[in-house]
Structure 1
Amino acid sequence: MTKLTTITDGDLSATIDAQGAQLMSVKLGDGEYLWQGDERYWARRAPVLFPIVGCLRGDHATSAQGDVSLKRHGIARLYEHAVVEQTPSSVTYELRSTNETRAAYPFDFCLNMTYALADGRLTQTFKVTNTGNVDLPFTLGGHPAFNVPVPGEGGASFSDYELVFPEPWTARVPSIDEQGLQDFGHMHELFRDTDRIRLTHELIDELLTVVFVDVPGRSVRLVGPAGHGIQVDFDGFAFLGVWTATSDSPFVAIEPWVGCATAYDESDVFEEKRGTITLAPGETCVRSFTMRPF
């Protein structure tokens, strides 16, 4: 049975499901900013990505501890997470390794997910602790999807929206094949010396997922024609995925990632994936990103 927790701070509220510790709602007043899931397009809303982002080649890799067998985006989204701390404006979940998780990912870990509201922002925090006696390799990321149009934008269409960055820059993005593998040997120049790009289904259909690397200021805003939207700040995340499901999907996912899917120029050794974080026994890693609806 679904176990939902709602947190509030002023006019801002968020609801999270213990299943997958998945964000289910982000509201400013009565306006819902988070995609609400629809099997015609995509049933999820904002899955937690751990211990991989994207996919492994053939869903398999080798590691110092044995075979790794993980489907796209890993295992955190598959399990119920326990609530370990709660206040009116925050909630923390916990997922620990088990015999079942070790069969797919042969490492011991504790993953805490905290959602906290303050100053008009929702902060999503990953805390990973190595609870084993060998090094723990992993990547992680968020996958929040937002309604298009956002509240207050009336009948605005998908292509009325822009992604706006803190400063002009030149974005070169890798190719992605139908299996989800990335080719950093074939980069596309998406735009040059500008701080924005118009959001279109055609752009995402062509690239499958737009993967930005080293976004200046680690920040982006999704902005509609009436000036409403959402800002995502992701310091500590080297990659930003932008994705939607089909050519008429009424949402866009804006995804801060520490790592990314397996690339053509990588081996199938798990520890050698781009962006991999490695924790010694007892060590902890913390990464956070924020979402601000406006």
Structure 2
Amino acid sequence: MAAPVSVREDLLTRLVALSPPGDARLVSLVRRVCAQTLSLPPLPVEVDAGEPASDAEAVVAEFAEQFSTDVSAITDDQRSRLFKALGDNIFSVVVAMYLADLLPRVRAGLEALGVGEQYLGWTRGPIEWDHATEPSDSVFNDFLPAVGAMRALDPVTSELVRLRGAAQHNCRLCKSVRESRALDAGGSETLYDDIERFEESTQIDVRAKAALRYVDGLIWTPAHLDADVVAEVRARFSEAEAVELTLDVMRNASNKVAVSLKGDAPRVSEGTETYLLDADGQTVFS
């Protein structure tokens, strides 16, 4: 068996430090709104934007709030108004929302579990702001593959977690694909059909159920993670597995960017398509 892969300890700090030129106010705004919506501590900001100072900023704030609350409920009208407010900058700002929304959740999960302190350096010291790196490049070409390459968790649990997040965010693309390593390790449509009502399932084992309860907590109530759920994760998973499980929630939730912009069309019109999450954490379709 291959040794578990660890992400760089500064990877999350580098995401926190992203501050594209000209977007400091918007980054600050979405970090405040998302954290307030989640009742979690906000990410550090380079500029304190305070309340929206224009109609465009008000549109961004409204979109960010819905992004954090339930991305699947974003309306076409909200998308239209966001595009009108931001134009070609819309994708960059939505990626900023993703970071503002998910990094506080990851912090809440890791701190509740008492693991992964090495990844939370950004909570303890000053931030060296990065004005040069494109946030989408860091997210999609650095962070997502790094987490995808982690191998502490077994592939079936990882796939159950991914599909649970896909359903909660109603990502049509995510629901239309299946990971091949998980299928080879015992995953099946019969098993996956039980995810919706996993508590009643006789096929999903107690370990996977513990993971799914934790995933639901990070998605819906990250500021109020159930102590019994946290304790069960700590009892049933190693520290490396618990860290990977938490980071998987953030990796999988990158689908919120696509869902929010209605860019989550399924890969196939019927059935599912298989892909491989390879050793480099890249998604490879056959």
**Whose strand proportion is higher, 1 or 2?**
1
The structure showing larger relative contact order (alpha-carbon pairs under 8 Å, at least 6 residues apart) is 2
**Whose helix proportion is higher, 1 or 2?**
2
Give the TM-score taking structure 2 as reference length.
Answer: 0.27
Give the TM-score taking structure 1 as reference length.
Answer: 0.26
